[in-house]
Amino acid sequence: MEITAAAIRALVDEADGPEPVTSVYLATDGAQLPRAADVEARLDGLLRQVRREADAWGPHADGVRADAETLSRWVRHEFDRGDTRGLALFASGGRLLERVESAREVRTLARVATTPYVVPLEALLGRHHHIALALVARDRARVFRYRLGRLEEHRELVAEVHGQHEQGGWAQARYQRTIEEEKLAHMKDVAERLRALHDEDPLDVVVVAGADAEVAEFTPLLHPYLKERVRPSGTRLSLRAGPGEVLAALDGVEQELVSERRSALLERLAAAQGSGAIAARGLRHVLEAANAKRIDTLFVVEGAGEAGFKSASGALARHEHEAAAYGEPVEPVADLLDEVIEEAVRSGAHIELFREPSRLDGHPVAALLRF
């Protein structure tokens, strides 16, 4: 499964049935867990927790136990770690619903609930940018695609561009024009390769690196919708740069993009201070916005959950009598913030997760609202 907002919504919608869903997130970084047995031992600890919780699910207990067996079997017999540093697995009724293999690490945990636990996926999505890098020179180029910590290099482009000579006169002028025409054709080929990549899967950002003169000559040849995505960058990479060097450079670009986006959103939230019509702060006000389906952007501090209640109509509240006002019967929920995130996912809201409560002025949750 690709980590996209649409895929996460589809996962939540697919699991909308009577059976509980077992969600397992497993850190699999080979630097910390070099042997397959190390990964399996960590998984076994999570699945023991799942089996202990099974009895609480009454008539669905056997299904939860079957989930544990299904996930254990898949990791032991089908999982090929490669560059995967984070694994997410979802099962229900003994059937594997979905799997996510990420080059980004995830926090190891297991949850059994009525719906998939997608908060860690949302955290990964918050770092997601589809970036293309073009390393350009007069007679060759390298094109890379980067997404969520994974780097893919496309075929190196080498052009038949003649070298300089000192013949002089009309012959030299004709020869120089030939060189310039060949260089232009080469750069157009590279620009076309980037356009094809964008057509296959839209790019968020394009980074162009190389000698300043060649970068300046190449960039205007890009299609207009790619020129809009070119990011001014101090990235200095040679055509001989290794994968590790390229990956580190694009990791840095992505971190800059995440920081800029979050700063802009937090500025909007700060500007809305005191206006309940366009922003909500604190759990009570955000619950009201979620019940009214008005959340446009949700800000959540990870791990700041609180138990609460859900009404027969699906409305959320901190207290049982408040939920009952929306319709009975009322059921308890283990974590109101998880429920709010699920509602935000279903409604197509953007979600930003933070580790420090200070980012939200001490509140566990806040939101920008739809009018």
Closest by CA position to 135, among listed 206, 39, 72, 76: 206
The CA distances from residue 90 to 1, 23, 54, 100, in Å, are: 11, 5, 15, 9
- Specify the pTM: 0.76
pLDDT value for 354: 85
What confidence tens digit (pLDDT) does each residue in 86-140 have? 999 999 999 999 999 999 888 889 999 988 988 888 888 877 899 999 999 888 8
- Tell the CATH topology of 272-369: 60s Ribosomal Protein L30; Chain: A; (3.30.1330)
3-state secondary structure of 95: strand
pLDDT value for 40: 93
Residues 6+ apart with CB under 8 A from 12: 115, 116, 118, 342, 345, 346
- The C-alpha atoms of residue 268 and residue 253 are separated, in whole angstroms, by 23
Going by CATH, does the domain composed of 131-261 fall within 1.10.1660.10? Answer: no
Tell how strand 86-92 and strand 140-147 pair up.
Answer: unpaired
- The C-alpha atoms of residue 78 and residue 23 are separated, in whole angstroms, by 18
pLDDT value for 158: 60
pLDDT value for 191: 93
DSSP assigned state of 289: H
The CA distances from residue 92 to 11, 65, 66, 117, 303, in Å, are: 12, 10, 8, 12, 24
Report whether 243 contacts 151 (CB < 8 A).
yes
pLDDT value for 343: 85
Amino acid 43 reads: L
> Angle, nearest 10°, between helix axes 283-291 and 336-347?
40
pLDDT value for 275: 74
Low-confidence ranges of the chain (pLDDT < 50): 161-162, 164-165, 170, 175
pLDDT value for 163: 53
Pseudo-torsion of CA 261, 292, 357, 88, nearest 10°? -70
pLDDT value for 77: 94
pLDDT value for 175: 47
pLDDT value for 165: 46
pLDDT value for 156: 61
Residues 6+ apart with CB under 8 A from 122: 8, 341, 345, 351, 353
Report whether 106 contacts 27 (CB < 8 A).
yes
pLDDT value for 211: 87
pLDDT value for 179: 59
Where do the structural domains in the chain lie, given as residue ranges? 5-125, 131-261, 272-369
Backbone angles phi, psi at 97, to 5 degrees: -80, -45
How many helices (H) and strands (E) in the chain? Answer: 11, 16
What confidence tens digit (pLDDT) does each residue in 283-299 have? 999 999 999 999 999 99
* CA 147 from centroid of its chain's CA atoms: 8
